Structure 1
Amino acid sequence: MGTSVALALNSALQVNRSRWKLLTKVAWRTAALVLLGIFIINPNYCKGPLSWDTLRIPGVLQRLGLSYGVVAVLELLCGKVYPESLALDNLWSPARDVLIYWPQWIFILLLECAWLCLTLLLPVPGCPQGYLGPGGIGDFGQFANCTGGAAGYIDRLVFGKNHIYQHPSCARLYKTTVPFDPENLLGLINSIVMTFLGLQAGKIFLIYKGQNKQIMLRFLFWSILLGVISAILTKCSKDHGFIPVNKNLWSISYVTTLSSFAYILLLLIYFMVDVKKHWTGAPFYFPGMNSILVYVGHEVFEHYFPFRWKMLNDRSHGEHLAQNLVATIIWVIISYVLYKKKIFWKI
Structure 2
Amino acid sequence: MIRFQDAAAFGAALDALPQPDDAALAAARTRQAVLTKPAGSLGRLEEIALFMAGWQGRERPVLDRVRATVFAGNHGVAARGVSAFPVDVTAQMVANFQAGGAAINALARACGAALSVVALDLDSPTGDIASAAAMSEAECLAALNAGAHSVAADTDLLFVGEMGIANTTPAAALCAQAFGGAAADWCGRGSGVDDAGIARKVAAVESALALHGAQSVTPFETLRRLGGREIAAMAGAILAARRLRVPVLLDGFICCAAIAPLVATQPAFTDHCLAAHCSAEQAHGRLLGHFGLEPLLRLDLRLGEGSGAAVAVPLVRAALAAHNGMATFAEAAVAQAL
**TM-score, structure 2 length as denominator?**
0.31
**TM-score, structure 1 length as denominator?**
0.30
Question: Computing the radius of gyration over CA atoms, which structure comes out larger, 1 or 2?
Answer: 1
Q: Which has the higher contact order (CA 8 A, sep 6+)?
A: 2
Bigger helix fraction = 1
Bigger strand fraction = 2
